[in-house]
Structure 1
């Protein structure tokens, strides 16, 4: 029985398989991790990114952190004021905010699916710091309407 396939479809290439010839004629080994691992040699969101350089890996961790931070920010935003604004305009603004929030949330999810432990920690830290800044009253000056904490509904899994 071939453990690398299911119903005739390859699930993930093994560490000793090779892909097709690259642009330079070199064979490139492909490997997809199926468990968490530590290391800077990861592929996050895009083919070949961040590469093997430590600086690019750190930049990718900052990018994932900011994505998660902004997901929390958009989840608790109050961009639409209840001052008699046109309902259609308010609906379009809320739809655009929801679309942006979900797009960022899916990017964070895909980055975490790289199974790199550093990316996972960066995503969790981004959500935690984002919640601290946007979801608690630690950094909020003045009083807020207790009945409405944000424009968008909470994200539910």
Structure 2
């Protein structure tokens, strides 16, 4: 049934095509979910990735999303730039800090786009990656600095508080 240009549940055969069943199967895989769903048949970040009925590729996609979220947290709490008064104000330090910020935001947007696949597994590994990343790099559990030292990370925090 055609509802405003969108096909629901069935696909029309392409003009001149004698194989309407193959076209229907191809159309079914291109359907975008608008609610959370469970399963390995999803498209995450790229067209056709991880593919359909490929459990190994789905697990790899989940691992990629997890590590992207972990790297976002690492970049949010890392102290790569040296703490010297002269280099804190130099143009090269500012450019490096800007580059790190752009990479962090780009990776955060990739994680967000992956979550927009509405796959519940992707959602859970994104949360796990951010949570474990914060535990390792941002919490007091592994923080080697004293709380009173007050040296912030190289980049501003990603929260709005």
TM beyond 0.5: yes
Change (3 A) 1:13 1:65: farther
Please report how far the alpha carbon of residue 34 of structure 1 lies from its aligned counterpart in structure 2 after TM superposition. Answer: 0.4
Q: Is this contact kept in 2: 1:75–1:150, CA < 8 A?
A: yes
Greater strand share, structure number: 1
TM-score, scaled to structure 1: 0.82
Structure 1 gap segments, 5+ residues each = none
**Computing the radius of gyration over CA atoms, which structure comes out larger, 1 or 2?**
2
CA distance in 1, matches of 2:39, 2:158: 31
Partner-residue secondary structure (3-state), 1:36: coil
Please report how far the alpha carbon of residue 148 of structure 1 lies from its aligned counterpart in structure 2 after TM superposition. Answer: 2.5
Q: Are 1:114 and 2:117 matched, yes or no?
A: yes
Change (3 A) 1:46 1:18: farther
Please report how far the alpha carbon of residue 142 of structure 1 lies from its aligned counterpart in structure 2 after TM superposition. Answer: 5.1
> 2:98 pairs with 87, 95, 98, which one?
95
Q: How much is the aligned-residue C-alpha RMSD, in angstroms?
A: 2.6
Corresponding residue number in structure 2 for 1:16:
10
Structure 2 gap segments, 5+ residues each = none
TM-score, scaled to structure 2: 0.80
Which segment drifts farther, 133-142 or 40-49? 133-142
Greater helix share, structure number: 2
CA distance in 1, matches of 2:11, 2:149: 57
Please report how far the alpha carbon of residue 14 of structure 1 lies from its aligned counterpart in structure 2 after TM superposition. Answer: 3.8
